[in-house]
Chain A
Amino acid sequence: MENSMKTKRYQIMINAILILVTLIIVLPFVLVFLSSLTDENVLIRNGYSFFPEKFSFYAYQYIIRQGDKILRAYGVTIIVTIVGTVLNIAMSALMAYPLSVKTLPHRRALTFFIFFTMLFNGGLVPTYLMYVNYFHIKNTLWALIIPNLLLSANNVLMIRSYFMTSIPDALFEAAKIDGAGHLRIFSVLIMPLGKPILVTMGLFSGLGYWNDWTNGLYYLSGNQGQKLFSIQNLLNQMITDIQYLASGKVAGNIGAEVAKLPATSIRMAIAFIAMLPLFIIYPFLQKYFAEGITLGAVKG
């Protein structure tokens, strides 16, 4: 009896700690959402707050009515995410399968060729100069897709391991006896059976594209580049502008510069709609996210 009381108290205590942790994690998101729904004047007077004096849908109305730039950026993000993820997964799977075939000549050397890219890299300067001067991807949509195409060699090696360990050898043998060639085995056997790992990797690749803002920062600039801004680039630029204005480096009419910036509530609304799809898919795909993370910890 006393023991169960003790257990109960213990459960209450650890739940209390974890509820506190959960609040620390969730409340900042709530703050962003509430700020996007706060009346602009109240925001300027009282600052961001969990208890706004007056609500307003102005920010969202503005985005729907006049947010060409914002909707355009949203479209860019969606296109880049879809195209990038499909290319990434196709290329990763096409690389992973041959590496899983034990009879492939030079298999070890090829694996090393991929693996070595995880150990050493040339860094930003040569990569930047090459893409800008020789491939001319500056201010093109490719700038948001190509430098991230194979997010990491680690993914290829993880997919290879999955093919090797989770698909029974007997199936390959049976397919070979039936006279199936490598291409056929890949499309009929590997792709369907490898679906779990490909979905998981695709999810991480998609997340990477959705959240990427560095490529836009490096390779998009000027009026031409701004047209190709993804939603993350747009958010990034807005916060950079605020800092620029605050630094006092702007000459001339500061009032006019500030007026050009979207209102505080609109900025928070854009941040919120950038997160929204992730909030929506997360409950359904959580299992895959968790799997991908635990897989990554076990070596490939």
Chain B
Amino acid sequence: MEKKSRLKAYRDHWPLYLMMLPGLLYLLINNYIPMAGIVIAFKKLNFAEGIFASPWAGFENFKFLFATKDAWIITRNTLLYNVAFILVNMVVGIAIAILICEIRSTKLKKLYQSAILLPFLMSMVILSYIVYALLSSENGLINNSLLSALHLEPVQWYQEPKYWPFILIFANCWKGVGYGCLIYIASLVGIDPSFYEAARLDGASKWQEIRNITLPCLVPTIITLLLLSIGRIFYSDFGLFYQVPMNSGVLFPTTNVIDTYVYRALIERGNISMSSAAGVYQSVVGFVIVMLSNWVVRKVDKDQALF
């Protein structure tokens, strides 16, 4: 009886499985087979024998990777940049969102909102052109117009690693702040206006309103966005770190992250063992971080958890 009803359920739903088939096959190929491919990191790869028939290397590849200075540099850069990006974009995003919501004129409000999202639509290649137009040592706006007007020496931006943390944090904020800003605006609009009316009756200042009403009301949104970005803290935008500094070798101490390291080791140096070891390091630690951050959020507030 039990079996029969199950068979009937399958019979009733078979078109649905058929509909899902292309997508499921795609995920199997594009996502799951590469997951199995992490064994490459534990192999001494020999193309003549094929990937799976190559001899095992155990943790040899990882030993080599962590013996290099690069392993520490790319881990540090990835984490520190992400922390800086999260904090800067959050503070700037919330500030701009609050300012936009204070604007009386709906037309201006729309205008600012449109402007702030514009860079989000552009590719990292475009961003690299913009940064180049500003920083190029021969033609750049900053060297040619700004520094010369101030009677300062031109700076070889693409040769000086020390400036890049600031450049990248600023560029990332310029490009990405609109995204968070829009989400903050959406939740600011949802705050009950009677809170503010009551505060005004009590003679609260604007600053007090922001501190005691606006920010507390934003906390759930902040936590959601924070969780999403913490889950990705071991990953970085490849384009931002590869393309914007124009792959300049001198800058690697402050621009190399795990993603760019994996790419360069694989494509530019053809070093599959190092590259796959770094890739697996990223996938595994990344996975642990997502699970941990979600677990913490579940403990604090179940509704905010992703799963």
Contact = CB atoms under 8 A, between A and B. Distances in A.
Interface of A: 10-11, 14-15, 17-18, 21-22, 24-26, 28-29, 31-32, 35, 43-44, 46-50, 91-92, 94-95, 97-99, 101, 103-105, 110, 113-115, 117, 119-130, 146-147, 149-150, 153, 156, 181-183, 186, 207, 210-214, 218, 232, 235-236, 239-240, 242-243, 246-247, 264, 267-268, 271, 274-275, 278, 282-283, 286, 289-290, 293-294, 297-299
A91 B19 CA distance: 8
Contact of B130 (A15, A18, A28, A92): A28
Given A14-B102, A47-B139, A283-B114, A239 B125 contact: yes
A122 B182 contact: no
Contacts of A99: 20
A60 to B, nearest CB: 17
B125 A213 contact: yes
Interface in B238-275: 238-239, 243, 246-249, 259, 262-263, 266-267, 272, 275
Given A128-B266, A297-B225, A299-B224, 11 more contacts: A21-B116, A98-B13, A105-B6, A115-B307, A123-B283, A127-B34, A186-B19, A213-B124, A239-B132, A267-B129, A274-B125
B290 A123 contact: no
Given A14-B102, A97-B19, A28 B239 contact: no
A127 B30 contact: yes
B51 interface: yes
For the complex of A and B, list the 9 residue pairs with the smallest distance between their C-beta atoms, beginning with the closest: A126-B37, A122-B34, A47-B144, A123-B279, A211-B123, A98-B16, A95-B23, A126-B34, A125-B276
Contacts of B32: 117
Contacts of B228: 297
Interface string B23-62: 1101101111111111011000000000100000000000
Contacts of A47: 136, 138-141, 143-145
B133 A150 contact: no
Contacts of A21: 96, 112, 115-116
Nearest to B117: A289
Contacts of B119: 25
A46 to B, nearest CB: 6
A10 B206 CA distance: 10
Contact of B126 (A25, A235, A297): A235
B22 interface: yes
Given A105-B9, A182-B16, A43 B121 contact: no
Contact of B174 (A25, A91, A117): A25
Interface string B97-116: 00110111000100111111
Contacts of A246: 158
B141 A48 contact: yes
B186 interface: yes
A11 B280 CA distance: 52
Nearest to B243: A236
B6 A275 contact: no
Given A124-B266, A153-B27, A211-B122, A239 B243 contact: yes
B115 A278 contact: no
B291 interface: yes
Contacts of A104: 13, 16
Contacts of B117: 286, 289-290, 293
A142 B123 CA distance: 20
